[in-house]
Amino acid sequence: MTDIVLRDVQKWFGPIQVIKDMNLSIDHNEFIVLLGPSGCGKTTTLRAVAGLETIDEGDILIDGKPVQHMKASDRDIAMVFQSFSLYPHMTVYENIAFPLRARRMSRQAVDESVREIARVLRIADLLDRRPSALSGGDMQRVAIGRALVRRPKAMLMDEPIGALDAKLREEMRAEIKRLHLKQGSTTIYVTHDQVEAMSLADRIVIMHEGVLQQVGSPDEVYARPQNLFVAQFVGSPVMNVAPAQVRQEGGAVRVSVDPATPGFDFPRELLSRLNGHGAGEALALGIRPEGVLVSREPRDGYLPVEAHIIEPLGSHDIVDLKVGERLLRARTAAGFVPRPGERVHARIDPAQAHFFDAQSGRSLGVRL
Amino acid sequence: MAVLATLDPNSRAASRGWSDLTIRNAFILPTIIFLIVFNIFPLVYSLGFSFTNYRASVNRPAEFVGLQNYRELLSNPDIWNNFTITAQYVILSVGGQMIVGFGLALLLNRKFPFKGLVTTLLLLPMMLSPAVVGLFWKLLYDPSWGPINYALGIGKFEWLSNPTNALIATALTDIWMWSPFVMLLALAGLSAVPKHLYEAAAIDRAGTFYTFFRITLPLITPLLLIALIFRTMEAFKTFDLPFVMSTANVQTIAIRLYQMAFQSWDTGRASALAYIVLIVVLAITNIYVKYLNKVKER
């Protein structure tokens, strides 16, 4: 059983605060992904948990025990580095055996553990090679092997597959998931790649400028982003965000992203759900590309728009639609809009619309 | 060559009709001439002398004596004794330099105030002239009023007047002078060990000693070996320090060679001895270089 708790953690690099009021608790066997752009403090947080970085205030608890004053070697935590950090002068076998030998384990026990983990990671035939003779994927397997071999309390991974090429990355992603399900250990994984985060995490922790933005399951952070940053960081292509005006016209409620256009139809409940927001302060509408519905024929509730740029992605197209002076990106079936300049019709699926306070960026929590 | 081939066709050299090859040769030529005049010619010339009974002090043509010089030198127990003394000197002084130099490098391999200044000060001994160092240490070792005896409180200890003590005293001076060299190379090696390896070792729960012997030492071995090669070569042909400090008492092979060549003017025999020394030094460095390549292959 290993749980990790961060309580009011603060960290400064000189005058710059890189971790602000970080509070997070990680359950036993949970796979947590710290996600954020570079420089958001995610790696620093990970290194603080590992003991490679000190924190200025707050507590880090492993199994309820404060560890912030303990050395890395006393925390019994394993880590996989982005650069793998394999020992270049040792063979794969010696690399994996290193943490065991450092603890004076018997020769036979070391041998058994190393061969077992090599079998699990499918690197048993590489044990005599040196790291310089390995491919990126194999180096990463060795690095994971070295981390797993002593069955640590928790496993930390700092962009472990960031240095690999796209295809290998996908392969290793699946492998890491498989290993986690098989070996099961509390894991903190750092990445800036939201696809990686979505596919691996039990829960995603999104960070921005040292501040924790949202913690939730991949579904939650995708479907219910708590603020504009999360909304735009998670999901590809990026969520459309536009300043919006809400108007009541007779019995209908319309939301327009460009005052010159008539606006999209929304159900009447929107007014009560907005609860007065949007009347005084500025409102931002967020809609993911799959929430923009496109039709070739004019239909009820659809506005005429012009297709601007089409990005064919094989399985589907991303089409930039011109709504007045605004661009909305829509996801359509491949070839649905034949060429740029075409007039088509679009509406917004109210169930997929998000409303944010444009000033603070906070979600208004409107669900239709 | 790829770089040379991209010479700008509009450059002045190109407009004079110089090809890349001409320019390359123009740069190399002075060095080649220098090497031939001052290295290769004397080398070949002295090889010729080593088979004669030539004496530079006597106006008499050299007579070819074949391998006689080599035969006599190698069967002379005195010469073997000189080699033994030289070997003792090399082991003492190079061993000491490796230990002190590496120790200093370990101490300096961290952040502290005035690190640059301290490092520069530590490098000073190696920048001094060996003759000056020898003269100063001769004063320091003086039995009746030298500061070393005074500081150690050992009365009138004779440092330089008997062969054993003189050997140790000269080696100590050499250690003082050349440890900074080893320190410099070791420091370069230490700072080149990637920091993330130490982080990985800390995560792997390796202790300080384990990390040192399993990570630090193996990774800087190549540079330590280079220091060892340079220092062994230098120490083996050491002349200046023993000459200035204790001429008669530390009979290294270089001192013997000097006496043979410029005191008894036995030029032919001295040339032969010089060749023997050259071969020995080459043999020793060859062993090191072989080992170095083996280490580097890893």
- A165/A24 same-domain check: yes
- B75/B167 same-domain check: yes
Residue in chain B lying closest to A74 (CA)? B205
Structural domains counted in chain A: 2
- A28/A174 same-domain check: yes
What tokens were used for A39?
A: 């420089």
| pLDDT score of B35 | 95
Do B202 and A99 lie within an 8 Å CB cutoff?
Answer: no
| pLDDT score of B180 | 96
Q: pLDDT tens digits for A304-349? A: 999 999 999 999 999 999 988 889 999 999 989 888 999 999 999 9
| pLDDT score of B14 | 61
- A32/A148 same-domain check: yes
| pLDDT score of B153 | 85
- A119/A188 same-domain check: yes
C-alpha angle B22-B27-B28 in degrees, rounded to nearest 5: 95
Does residue B61 sit within a domain?
Answer: no
Rounded to the nearest angstrom, the minimum Cα separation between B205 and chain A is 4
Is B30's Cβ below 8 Å from some Cβ in A?
no
DSSP 8-class letter at B144 = T
What tokens were used for A243?
A: 């300043």
> Do residues A129 and A94 lie in contact, with contact meaning Cβ atoms separated by under 8 Å?
no
- A222/A147 same-domain check: yes
To the nearest 10 degrees (0 to 180), the angle between helices B115-127 and B77-108 is 170
Position B4 pLDDT exceeds 50: no
Do A146 and B204 lie within an 8 Å CB cutoff?
Answer: yes
**Residue A309, number of CB atoms within 10 A of its CB:** 12
Q: Residue A190: what are its φ and ψ, rounded to 5°?
A: -105, 135
- B164/B274 same-domain check: yes
Tell me the ipTM for this assembly: 0.82
Q: Which residues contact A171 (CB under 8 A, 6 or more apart)?
A: A137
Among A277-286, B22-31, B111-120, B278-287, whose mean pLDDT is lowest?
Answer: A277-286
User: How far apart are alpha carbons A347 and B1 in whole angstroms?
Assistant: 64
Does residue A233 sit within a domain?
Answer: no
- B33/B115 same-domain check: no
Is B195's Cβ below 8 Å from some Cβ in A?
no
User: How far apart are alpha carbons A332 and A357 in whole angstroms?
Assistant: 29
Amino acid identity of residue A93, one-letter, is Y
Residue in chain A lying closest to B196 (CA)? A85
Residue in chain B lying closest to A89 (CA)? B298
Do A99 and B204 lie within an 8 Å CB cutoff?
Answer: yes
Q: List the one residue out of B49, B51, B32, B29 whose CA is nearest residue B40.
A: B32
Q: Which residues of A touch B218 (CB under 8 A)?
A: 89
Does residue B6 sit within a domain?
Answer: no
Residues from A contacting B (CB-CB < 8 Å) are 50-52, 71-74, 76-79, 81, 83, 85-89, 98-99, 102-103, 130, 146-147, 150
Q: Among A226, A248, A265, give the residue marking a domain's end.
A: A226
| pLDDT score of A279 | 65
- B103/B133 same-domain check: yes
Does residue B60 sit within a domain?
Answer: no
- A253/A128 same-domain check: no
Q: Which residues of B touch A89 (CB under 8 A)?
A: 218-219, 298
- A261/A352 same-domain check: yes
Q: CA torsion, points A237, A357, A37, A6, in degrees to nearest 10? A: -130
Does residue A234 sit within a domain?
Answer: no
Q: Over chain A, what is the mean pLDDT? A: 90
The radius of gyration of chain B from alpha carbons, rounded to an integer in Å, stands at: 25
Domain CATH number, residue A350: 2.40.50.140
Do A79 and B203 lie within an 8 Å CB cutoff?
Answer: yes
User: How far apart are alpha carbons B192 and B189 in whole angstroms?
Assistant: 5
- A216/A253 same-domain check: no
Whole domain around residue A203: which residue ranges? 4-226
- Per-residue b/e over A21-54, b at no fewer than 16 CB within 10 Å? ebebebeebbbbbbbbeeebbbbbbbbbbbbbbe
Do A71 and B202 lie within an 8 Å CB cutoff?
Answer: yes
Q: pLDDT tens digits for A38-54? A: 989 999 999 999 999 99
The overall pTM is greater than 0.90:
no
Q: pLDDT tens digits for A57-116? A: 999 999 999 999 999 988 989 999 988 899 999 999 999 999 999 999 999 999 999 999
Instruction: Concatenate the DSSP letters of all residues of A235-289 into one string.
Output: SSSPPEEEEEEEEEETTEEEEESSTTS--EEE-THHHHHHTTTTTSS-EEEEE-G
Q: Which residues of A touch B199 (CB under 8 A)?
A: 52, 72, 79, 81, 85
Residue in chain A lying closest to B195 (CA)? A85
Do B204 and A130 lie within an 8 Å CB cutoff?
Answer: no
> Do residues A318 and A311 lie in contact, with contact meaning Cβ atoms separated by under 8 Å?
yes
User: How far apart are alpha carbons B296 and B290 in whole angstroms?
Assistant: 10
Q: pLDDT tens digits for A198-228? A: 999 999 999 999 999 999 999 999 999 999 9
The average pLDDT across A185-203 equals 93
Give residue A280's pLDDT band: very low, low, confident or very high (50, 70, 90): low
* Unique residue bearing structure tokens 């990774």: B219
Q: List the one residue out of B124, B246, B229, B241 whose CA is nearest residue B173.
A: B241
Rounded to the nearest angstrom, the minimum Cα separation between A117 and chain B is 16
The average pLDDT across B95-102 equals 97
> Do residues A33 and A191 lie in contact, with contact meaning Cβ atoms separated by under 8 Å?
yes
Name the residue with higher pLDDT: B57 or B216.
B216
Give residue A278's pLDDT band: very low, low, confident or very high (50, 70, 90): low
> Do residues A252 and A265 lie in contact, with contact meaning Cβ atoms separated by under 8 Å?
yes
Domain CATH number, residue B81: 1.10.3720.10
Do A50 and B203 lie within an 8 Å CB cutoff?
Answer: yes
Do A76 and B206 lie within an 8 Å CB cutoff?
Answer: no
Do B206 and A146 lie within an 8 Å CB cutoff?
Answer: no
Is B42's Cβ below 8 Å from some Cβ in A?
no
Does residue B203 sit within a domain?
Answer: yes
| pLDDT score of A46 | 95
- B198/B267 same-domain check: yes
User: How far apart are alpha carbons A159 and A177 in whole angstroms?
Assistant: 14
- B28/B169 same-domain check: no
Q: Which residues of A touch B205 (CB under 8 A)?
A: 73-74, 76, 99, 102-103, 150
| pLDDT score of A291 | 93
- B226/B277 same-domain check: yes
- A100/A221 same-domain check: yes
| pLDDT score of B100 | 97
| pLDDT score of B144 | 85
Residue in chain A lying closest to B211 (CA)? A102
Which residues partner with A304 through β-bridges? A345
Does residue B234 sit within a domain?
Answer: yes
Position B175 pLDDT exceeds 60: yes
Domain CATH number, residue A148: 3.40.50.300
Does residue B59 sit within a domain?
Answer: no
In total, the C-beta contacts within 8 angstroms joining chain A to chain B are: 61
Structural domains counted in chain B: 2
Q: Where are the alpha helices (DSSP H) in chain B?
A: 2-5, 12-15, 20-35, 41-49, 68-74, 77-108, 115-127, 130-140, 147-152, 163-192, 195-203, 208-211, 217-236, 240-246, 253-258, 267-297
Do A102 and B201 lie within an 8 Å CB cutoff?
Answer: yes
Q: Among A200, A226, A252, give the residue marking a domain's end.
A: A226
Do B199 and A52 lie within an 8 Å CB cutoff?
Answer: yes
Residue in chain A lying closest to B222 (CA)? A89
- A292/A315 same-domain check: yes
Q: What percent of chain A has pLDDT over 90?
A: 63
| pLDDT score of B1 | 41
- B122/B266 same-domain check: yes
Q: Over chain B, what is the mean pLDDT? A: 89
Q: pLDDT tens digits for B229-258? A: 999 999 998 899 999 987 678 889 999 999
Do B204 and A51 lie within an 8 Å CB cutoff?
Answer: no
Q: Which residues of B touch A79 (CB under 8 A)?
A: 199-200, 203
Does residue B3 sit within a domain?
Answer: no
Position B6 pLDDT exceeds 60: no
For residue B244, CA distances in Å to A134, A291, B42, B57, B226 come to 56, 92, 26, 24, 28
Is B147's Cβ below 8 Å from some Cβ in A?
no
User: How far apart are alpha carbons B268 and B258 in whole angstroms?
Assistant: 13
Residue in chain A lying closest to B220 (CA)? A89
Half-sphere exposure of B98 (CA within 13 A, CB side): 18
The radius of gyration of chain A from alpha carbons, rounded to an integer in Å, stands at: 25
- A70/A216 same-domain check: yes
Rounded to the nearest angstrom, the minimum Cα separation between B111 and chain A is 17
Helix (H) or strand (E) holding A141: helix A136-148
Position B7 pLDDT exceeds 60: no
User: How far apart are alpha carbons A109 and A138 in whole angstroms?
Assistant: 24
Whole domain around residue B33: which residue ranges? 11-49
User: How far apart are alpha carbons B256 and B272 in whole angstroms?
Assistant: 13
Does residue A232 sit within a domain?
Answer: no
- B231/B131 same-domain check: yes
Q: pLDDT tens digits for A137-180? A: 899 889 999 998 988 889 999 998 887 888 888 888 888 898 88
Rounded to the nearest angstrom, the minimum Cα separation between A306 and chain B is 52
Give residue B2's pLDDT band: very low, low, confident or very high (50, 70, 90): very low
- A181/A211 same-domain check: yes
The average pLDDT across B5-10 equals 56
Q: Which residues of A touch B222 (CB under 8 A)?
A: none
Residue in chain B lying closest to A78 (CA)? B203
Cis peptide upstream of residue A237 (ω within 30 degrees of 0): yes
- B130/B188 same-domain check: yes
| pLDDT score of B29 | 95
Q: Among A226, A249, A267, give the residue marking a domain's end.
A: A226
- B212/B174 same-domain check: yes
Q: Which residues of B touch A163 (CB under 8 A)?
A: none
